[in-house]
């Protein structure tokens, strides 16, 4: 008996092949076959129970959805591979989870919470600006922190053609040499926290992501991981 047809890019995302956006690119590149025929039209539908789907000639089967929280240490990249052979965050996960991909990014020198999954829809909801999933960072900044700086970065700053903006920012500790600042983002553009402070002439010497949505880093040690509970996943994908 047939199940309800779904869009091909959703099928690929559910199978853990790629996010929906990346799946659309695979389709446009002619790398997808359905029942032996190449499909290059995004929005085409398939029946997961009946249709045979291949990517680059390899069969695709739906996979159990997996959601992992990892405490990324400094010096690890959040990518699937690196031509410079630097350390990859996914190497800290068990080998059977090598197919999982990072949800968003933390730059090489940043630390803290990052999620891994094979659920393309989940990845989209965590990273697309329209869903505005909040992320909380602790930034150690060189020098004393002035309240006017926090007002400017929460008002919004144009930097390299982009509007950078923190939803909230507060000083937790401040001295002559360093300050500890909590920053909350609603989008998370590339290196946004660092760029916000750089625009004010300040250097971030340590950056730790403490929270994504309601998921906290808590006491998870650096380099260690844990699976998310069903309840935690629901809190991330449910409207606020």
Digit-coded pLDDT (tens) for 49-102: 788 999 999 999 766 789 999 999 999 999 888 889 899 999 999 998 988 999
Location of each CATH 3.30.2350.10 domain in the chain:
134-212
> In Å, how far are 4, 81, 129, 155 from 211, measured between CA atoms?
37, 25, 17, 22
Q: Homologous superfamily of 134-212 in CATH?
A: Pseudouridine synthase (3.30.2350.10)
Instruction: Using a pLDDT cut of 70, give the percent of the chain over it.
Output: 97
C-alpha to C-alpha distance for 113 and 208, rounded to whole angstroms? 8
Q: Are 169 and 183 contacting, i.e. CB atoms less than 8 angstroms apart?
A: yes
Please report which confidence band the pLDDT of residue 196 belongs to, taking 50, 70 and 90 as the band edges: very high
**CATH class of the domain whose range is 6-59:** alpha beta
For residue 116, the surrounding DSSP H or E stretch is: strand 111-117
The residues annotated with a catalytic role in the active site are 107
Location of each CATH 3.10.290.10 domain in the chain:
6-59
Q: Are 116 and 78 contacting, i.e. CB atoms less than 8 angstroms apart?
A: no
The predicted model gives 216-230 an average pLDDT of 96
Give the global pTM. Answer: 0.76
DSSP string, 144-208: ---HHHHHHHHH-EEETTEEE--SEEEEEEE-SSEEEEEEEESS--TTHHHHHHHTTT--EEEEE
Please report which confidence band the pLDDT of residue 2 belongs to, taking 50, 70 and 90 as the band edges: very low
CA angle 85, 89, 91 (to 5 degrees): 75
Exposed (0-12), middle (13-18) or buried (19+): which is 29, by Cβ within 10 Å? exposed
Q: Dump pLDDT digits (tens) for 106-150.
A: 999 999 999 999 888 889 889 888 888 999 999 999 998 999 999
Q: Could you name the CATH architecture of 67-129+215-237?
A: 2-Layer Sandwich (3.30)
Location of each CATH 3.30.70.580 domain in the chain:
67-129+215-237
36-71 exposure pattern, b = at least 16 Cβ within 10 A, e = fewer:
eeebeebeeebebeeeebebeeeebeeeeebbbbbb
C-alpha to C-alpha distance for 161 and 143, rounded to whole angstroms? 27
Token couple for 166: 């923190």
With tokens 């085409």, the residue in question is: 44
């Amino acid at each position: 008996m047939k199940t309800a047809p779904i869009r091909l890019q959703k099928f690929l995302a559910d199978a853990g092949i790629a996010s929906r956006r990346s799946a659309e690119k695979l389709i446009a590149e002619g790398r997808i076959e359905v029942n032996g025929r190449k499909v290059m039209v995004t929005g085409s539908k398939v029946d997961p129970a009946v249709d045979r789907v291949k990517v680059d000639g390899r069969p695709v089967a739906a996979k159990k959805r997996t959601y992992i929280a990892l405490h990324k240490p400094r010096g690890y990249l959040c990518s699937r591979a690196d031509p410079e052979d630097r350390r990859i965050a996914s190497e800290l996960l068990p080998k059977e989870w090598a197919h999982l991909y990072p949800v968003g990014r933390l730059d090489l020198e940043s630390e803290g919470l990052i999620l891994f999954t094979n659920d393309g829809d989940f990845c989209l909801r965590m990273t697309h600006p329209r869903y505005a999933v909040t992320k909380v960072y602790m930034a150690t900044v060189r020098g004393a922190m002035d309240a006017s700086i926090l007002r400017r970065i929460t008002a919004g700053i144009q930097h390299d053609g982009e509007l950078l903006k923190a939803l909230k920012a507060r000083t937790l500790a401040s001295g002559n040499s360093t300050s500890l600042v909590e920053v909350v983002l609603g989008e998370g553009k590339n290196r946004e926290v660092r760029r916000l402070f750089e625009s004010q002439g300040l250097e971030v010497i340590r950056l730790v992501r403490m929270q994504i949505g309601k998921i906290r880093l808590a006491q998870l040690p650096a380099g260690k991981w844990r699976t998310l509970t069903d309840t935690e996943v629901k809190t991330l994908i449910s409207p606020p």
